[in-house]
Amino acid sequence: MNSASAGGAPDGSVIRRESPRPDLLAFEIKDKITKADIEWMSARTDEAMQALDKIDMLIIMSNYEGSDLGATFDGYAASVKVRSVAHIRRYVVVGAPAFAKAMINLSGFVMPVETKTFDLEDEPAAWAWLAQDPSAAS
C-alpha cells in the first residue's frame, strides 16, 4: 500500500483519519476536492463496503473550498455513492457549509441512511455520537 492510499489522496486535499473501529471510515477535507481526491475516497469506501457489510462514515470539512468539476461528475464516485446506500448505516459530516448541511439532513429523510451534521467546533461530539451503539444513536 503506498502512502497515498494509506494516509491521503495523492494531492493531499483529503486525508484518512484514524478511527477506533474498522467499520468507521473517517476522512478530513483540507482544501478543494479534486478528481484524484474523490476517486481515492471512493476507492477507500468501496474497499470497506466490500470487506464489511455495514459501515459508518465521518467527513470532517476542516477547510473545505469546494470541488473541481471533474470531482463533481466522476463516474466511479457516482457508482460508489449509489451502492453506498445499502452499506452505510450512519453518515456524519462535521463543518459542512450551510447548503450542504441542509442537503445532508434532508437526505436522511429520503434514504435508509441515518445522517447527522455537527459544527466544526463540535467534532468531539460527532465522534461520541458515532461511538454509540447504532440502535441507540438517534
DSSP the chain: --HHHHHB-TTSSEEEPP-SSTTEEEEEE-S-B-HHHHHHHHHHHHHHHHH-S-EEEEEEESS---B-HHHHT-HHHHHHHHHHTTTEEEEEEES--HHHHHHHHHHHHHSSSEEEEE-GGGHHHHHHHHHS-GGG--
Predicted pLDDT at 46 = 93
Q: Pick the residue with more confidence: 118 or 76?
A: 118
The CATH H-level superfamily of 3-129 is STAS domain (3.30.750.24)
Cβ-proximal residues to 34 (8 Å cutoff; 6+ apart), any chain: 9, 11, 13, 67, 68, 70, 71
> What number is the average pLDDT over the span 95-116?
83
Predicted pLDDT at 136 = 54
Q: Pick the residue with more confidence: 85 or 28?
A: 28
Predicted pLDDT at 5 = 39
Q: So where are the chain's domains?
A: 3-129
Q: pTM for the complete prediction?
A: 0.82
